[in-house]
Amino acid sequence: MKTYSTMIYSLFFLLAVACQTKPSTKGGAEATERRAEEKEEGGALEIFQSQLEALGAELGTVELKHLSEGIQAVGFIRVHNQHKAAVTSLFGGRIQHILVAPGDIVKKGQVLASVVNPQLIVMQEEYLTLVNALALTKLERSRQEELVEGNAGALKNFQQVETQLKQQQVRIASLERQLALAGINVDQLTPEKIKDRISITAPASGTVSQLQTELGANADAGAVLANIVDNDQVDLDLYIYEKDLSRVKVGQEVEFSLSNDADRKGKAVVDRVGSSFEGENKAVAVHARITGDRKGYIDGMGVTALLGTETSLVAAVPNAAIVDKDGNSYVFALLDTATLEQGGKREVRYLLERKQVKKGTSAMGFTQVTSIDPLQEKSRVVISGAIFLQGKLDGGNAHGH
């Protein structure tokens, strides 16, 4: 009986312990979840390297940048007309060869195409015939001159031959010039070397931007067959509104970036300020000379620019590092890193915390930031994709609630 009582007592003891342990485990899980929610609500976020890359986010630092309180402007990369050329033929004909394509770089005088023109054959025939006739006319002139001097010939005959000689000389000189324009050297012209085609050459060095003909097409004299642009001579045409015009000066420094590629930045200097408004938008054209590398810039590219007036050294981050929420601005700062097991492999885990900042001057893709929450000058922060991290943080909060 005593043994039976002991067994009953032991059973009740084990049940009591089990009942006490189960609520304790549940309470621990809830406490862990509450801590995670509190961490997310406080602006902290745990994220692995692979997740960071998938979101297109990357880490960098708060940098010191020279940001100008300048004049914002838009404009275009331009090659002005003195650095452009139209390829034409002085003689009409049929296009027989095309030796270049759009995008090819050519040198001044380089043959680009050839045109077949039967009239060219006639001009060479006439030239050679006149050269031979001129020799005979010169002999006849000498003979008539001797006759006049000996009173054996009429002065009228001498004058007629003299006139004929001058007409032949004028026509030969004209044909020489025409053939030279067609690229034919008359000093080397013989009946065996008569040509039937004209070589069309580049009037300037540069890049072939357009080709406006094709094989077998008829090319009229003076028609534009191709266009050449010297992209080594690109500069900026900017448009400044009336209210800012008084602040623009020759010699003013300009920072610019391509409208479709903010990472491609360059520098220029204002060298001409227009004196009339362009169109109806009350903007004045300002020309700026690019001072750095011009490679890769093409006529017509859009740019955004900043004409500097006052420059100061400030703490700044890329624009993509800043996220706005509920009327405040934030950046994500790195608090801690650790290497953990994730999906069967070891991976870096980042602990990020959202820090409130105040935005200041913005220029050329960077914005000045003044920290409201503690943020060191060289702090590592997320410099791109911050908006996606904010979305992840918002999603975590929604899930938690």
Angle between helices 2-41 and 386-400 (to 10 degrees): 140
pLDDT score at 183: 82
Taking CA atoms, 384 is separated from 64, 174, 320, 387, in Å, by 17, 70, 5, 8
Quick one: what percent of the chain has pLDDT higher than 90? 11
Instruction: List the single range of 6-10, 125-129, 188-192, 363-367 with lowest mean pLDDT.
Output: 6-10
Closest among 87, 91, 88, 99 to 118, alpha carbons compared: 91
pLDDT score at 29: 36
Residues in CB range of 389: below 8 A, 6 or more apart: 45, 47, 55, 57, 323, 332, 352, 382
For residue range 309-354, list pLDDT tens digits in order.
666 777 888 888 898 988 899 989 888 888 887 777 888 888 888 8
For residue range 281-301, list pLDDT tens digits in order.
678 888 999 987 888 888 888
Distance of CA 374 to the CA centre of its chain: 40
- Bigger pLDDT: 228 vs 359: 228
- Of these ranges, 1-10, 114-123, 370-379, the one predicted with the greatest mean pLDDT is 114-123
Asked if 303 contacts 67 with a C-beta cutoff of 8 angstroms, the reply is no
pLDDT score at 21: 37
**Which strands sit side by side in the sheet containing 105-106, from one edge to the other?**
84-88, 224-229, 206-211, 105-106
Q: Average pLDDT in the 77-101 region?
A: 89
- Of these ranges, 46-60, 92-106, 279-293, 330-344, the one predicted with the greatest mean pLDDT is 92-106
Distance of CA 353 to the CA centre of its chain: 37
Closest among 321, 351, 353 to 337, alpha carbons compared: 351
Is 0.85 topped by the overall pTM? no
